[in-house]
Amino acid sequence: MRVFSKTAFIVLFTFICLESAAAQPARAKNGMIASECSMATNVGLEILKMGGNAVDAAVAVGFALAVTYPEAGNIGGGGFSVIHLSDGKSTSIDYREKAPLKAHSEMFLDEEGNFDITLSTRGWTSSGVPGSVAGLIYTLEKYGTMNLKEIIQPAIDLAENGFILDYYTANLLKAYNHHFNRYESTKKIFTKNGEPFEEGELLIQKDLAETLRLILNEGKDGFYKGRTAKLLAEQSQNNGGYITEEDLNNYSAIEKEPVRSTYRGRKIISMGPSSSGGIALTQALNVFENFSFSYDDWGGGKYVHTLSEILKYVYADRAKHLGDDEFYDVPKKRLTSKDYAKSISERIGEAAVPSVSVMPGVLYEESENTTHYAVVDKYGNAVSTTTTINSLFGNKIVVDGAGFFMNNEMDDFSSKPGEPNQFGLIGYEANSIQPGKRMLSAMTPTIILDNEKPLLIVGARGGSRIITAVLQTIINTLDFGMNIQEAMDRPRIHQQWMPDSIDYEKFGLPEDVRDNLIKRGHNIGSIYNIGKVVGIKIENGIFTGGVDSRGSGLAAGY
């Protein structure tokens, strides 16, 4: 059995999650990992160096992030993986959280039938049944080459022995200290007797180490049955939640055919429902394919206008038609067809069309606090994974004795038609609450193939802005010839149909461009960061990778 040296992990324990601000991407010849934490990246890199494939490394990164990236990395949440294998097979794994069997359409309504947002965002009522452990283990067992002990031991060591808090993580823990102090189980791990941690201090998570050790010894059953399942279910039910041991015992990841399309001669492999990301991305690229822009057009009025108009139609369709396809008949073929895209492109003229004229309907949004990682190996295997617990640190509740944060993903359902969720936006019937249903997501893990080989592995965090962030990174790379770091770092815009406005990043819309857009009939919205992308591009046999300069992390290879 392969083992990690003690020296290697002393280095890993003390590695700081550095902010990446490099203008040029990292380069390597044998394999590459890109994630939002350098410790997790280096865990995955060691797996590749030991001869593991991209799936082995991706699963190791996932478990490591559950320790070192507690605000979004998780075993108390869920996610999606898109995989391309060296034998030519492409597949996807859906391990999104599910509504408990006791969930019902009126669970977040008060006695007068009004939507109570605190029930969907705080406390145990907000949690869906976690899927991450099932998804990671399913993926490893079916497509990995190494055993679970080799893959999960680095995460156990990081939890047991602790790791040094960097500036970013320490400040985040400090900002949420008052939330952590509300729950004794959270307070005892993520505070120092109620006081916040400081940069450079050691964060030790003994309970999480024990939970991971149970998974090591018992596999999926180490989480979904036995001690951990009992702790989670009892604490949920004792505090008004809905999750039971039956929910946990019955959870399983689902392997699905990915969303497939083409864009300017390349193959697009992305995630289908219960994620909206793959269909929305495919639809947007299909429409954009009917337009042509030169390098000098990038960021200009006509380019931004066209992109914004495309996104109105994409997000309107997303709101109306997308949900868990096990419960709702999603018109996937129509939404991703080239003919439908052509018909949309013909409606886009020189002037903006008001969103209310595009299609009446409603929309929901999810939180930004996902995390994405990308992996490629020397054999030609590639993995693109996005996971989430919804809000930062989920619902802020740590399962006492188990050491991990629970998600508040139930808020991603449409709790009541016409009523806004925590982000002020509205839901629709396709994404209504039903027992056992997976809530809709915007996560968009994507792999692009050129001549049947991976060219681009990309994804992002950022809630509903994930789709626009990934879309613009792909366009920057394939249409404008940017390297992966430049493609991620360029300013982005965001239009999601409702509200009818173009949001943008600082320095993203110069005054003359704003004036041009206003003359075309657009409304100019707010300034904020639009997603945080992680990606790898393969060019001439060289792996180039990066993490968005808007966030933290590390791309590294060998």
Contact predicate 475/492, CB 8 Å: no
| 225: region left, alpha or beta (phi > 0 left; psi from -120 to 50 alpha) | beta
Strands (DSSP E) along 378-451, which ranges? 382-388, 446-450
Rounded to an integer, what distance in angstroms lies between the CA atom of residue 454 and that of residue 448?
A: 6
One-letter amino acid of 173: L
Q: Report DSSP letters for 449-498, one per residue.
A: EETTEEEEEEEEESTTHHHHHHHHHHHHHHTT---HHHHHHS--EE--SS
Instruction: Give the DSSP H/E element, type plus range, for residue 372.
Output: strand 370-377
| DSSP state at residue 188 | H
Q: Show the tokens assigned to 33.
A: 């990992």
Q: Quote the CA–CA distance of 244 and 385 in Å, as a whole number.
A: 28
Per the CB < 8 A criterion, the answer to whether 244 and 235 are in contact is no
Pairing state between β 502-504 and 524-527: parallel
Tell me how far apart the alpha carbons of residues 437 and 446 are, in angstroms, rounded to a whole number.
Answer: 23
Q: What is the spatial distance between Cα 453 and Cα 90, in angstroms, rounded to a whole number?
A: 11
| Bridge partner residues of 63 (DSSP) | none
| Residue bearing tokens 């590294």 | 556
- The total of other beta-carbon atoms located within 10 Å of residue 423's CB is 17
Neighbouring-strand partners of residue 426: 420
Strands 90-95 and 254-256: antiparallel
**244 catalytic, yes or no?**
no
| 3-state secondary structure at position 415 | coil
Inter-residue long-range contacts of 279-282, CB under 8 Å, 24+ positions, other chains counted: 279/318, 279/322, 279/330, 279/332, 279/335, 279/336, 280/314, 280/315, 280/317, 280/318, 280/322, 280/442, 280/444, 280/467, 281/444, 281/446, 281/467, 281/470, 281/471, 281/474, 282/335, 282/336
The active-site residue out of 370, 387, 444, 468 is: 370
Rounded CA separation 120/123 (Å): 8
- CA pair distance 185, 233, nearest whole angstrom: 15
Q: Return the beta strands (E) in 162-250 as ranges.
A: 163-164, 202-203
CA distances from 279 to 323, 493, 513 (A): 11, 20, 30
What is the CA 239 to chain-centroid distance, rounded? 28
DSSP for 307-323, please give it: HHHHHHHHHHHHHHH-S
**Catalytic residues, which ones?**
370
